[in-house]
Amino acid sequence: MAETSPDLSLPDLSFADAADGVIAMAHYAGAKGLVPATSGNFSVRMTATHAAVTATGANKAALVRDEVIEAEIAGAKHPRASAEAPLHLVRYAHAPEIGAISHIHSLAATLLSRRHEAEGVLRLEGWELLKAFSGIHTHETVMEVPIVPNDQDTDRLAMLVERRLRESPPGFGYLIAGHGLYVWGATYQDVLRHMEAFEFLLTAQLYEEGRP
Ligand SMILES: [Zn+2]
């Protein structure tokens, strides 16, 4: 009799383990000043159908497990979900390789996303720290980070983002103009590294453009 084997490429984490990853990312970003005034959100995929996501309004620097919710990736909205939860959940639905996502409102991401909005993309090129991203082995790399316009209707924005990402080379994140950065990876540990690398690279880019 044929058996269906589980999809080994997808994680199978308990809510507690996934929430601990959410808390680790939130505390890191909070300590670095990347999520001012309760902004930003963090999530870790539990399974094909569920993810642990920060609840609305929490102070990310002091996030505790009660402020993390278990959300259905393609189901009804959780009553305590943040307004930006759809931007996380739609990513999980479209990209099975993504295991964790972080969204930050850092100064460098906010400024550069607005400055380059008309081009629709920010190019990061020639920096040694590009090697911090999974699968990149040389500074001789051009990373094109898509920029989408901001929108308070986050369901509509999530659909726009997915359309845009389908037309873009595979990457690690995107910018929302005048708003901030989304960054992902296979695990929350990868996202911690990618978040730190993005923040360094965006700050370097800002200084190189001569208008920090
Ligand atoms: Zn935001």
CATH number of the domain encompassing residue 129: 3.40.225.10
Residues 69 and 35: their CA atoms lie apart, in Å, by 19
Separation between Cα atoms, residue 186 and residue 38, nearest integer Å: 25
pLDDT the model gives residue 164: 96
What pLDDT, on a 0 to 100 scale, did the predictor assign at position 57? 87
pLDDT level of residue 150 (50, 70, 90 thresholds): very high
Does 127 map to a domain? yes
170 pLDDT tier (thresholds 50, 70, 90): confident
On whether residue 9 sits in a domain, the answer given is no
CA 74 to chain centre: 18
Instruction: For CA atoms 130, 136, 139, 144, give the dihedral sign.
Output: negative
In the reported structure, the alpha carbon of residue 160 is separated from the centroid of ligand 1 by a whole-number distance in angstroms of 15
Residue 6 lies in a domain: no
The stretch 88-92 carries a mean pLDDT of 97
Find the 30 Cα to ligand 1 centroid distance in Å. 14
Q: Answer whether residue 124 is part of any domain.
A: yes
Specify if 64 maps to a domain. yes
CA distance 67 to 65: 5
CA pair distance 129, 132, nearest whole angstrom = 5
Q: In what order do the strands lie in the sheet with 142-148?
A: 68-72, 50-54, 41-45, 100-104, 180-185, 173-176, 142-148, 121-125
Ligand 1 centroid–CA 189 distance in Å is: 21
Residue 161 CA, ligand 1 centroid: distance in Å: 14
Domain presence at residue 2 = no
* Residue 7 forms part of a structural domain: no
Q: Is the pLDDT of residue 207 over 90?
A: yes
Strand runs labelled E in the chain: 41-45, 50-54, 68-72, 100-104, 121-125, 142-148, 173-176, 180-185
15 CA to middle of ligand 1, Å? 24
Q: Give the mean model confidence (pLDDT) for residues 70-85.
A: 92
Instruction: Give the integer Cα–Cα distance in Å for 184 and 160.
Output: 18
Domain contains 1? no
**pLDDT category of residue 67 using cuts at 50, 70 and 90:** very high
* Percentage of the chain exceeding pLDDT 90: 87
User: What confidence category does residue 6 fall into, taking pLDDT thresholds of 50, 70 and 90?
Assistant: low
118-145 pLDDT, tens digit each? 999 999 999 999 999 999 999 999 999 9
Residue 172 lies in domain: 15-208
Provide the number of structural domains found in the chain: 1
Predicted pLDDT at 211: 67
**In angstroms, what is the span from residue 203 Cα to ligand 1's centroid?**
19
Rounded to two decimals, the pTM is 0.94
| pLDDT at position 8 | 58
* pLDDT greater than 50 at residue 1: no
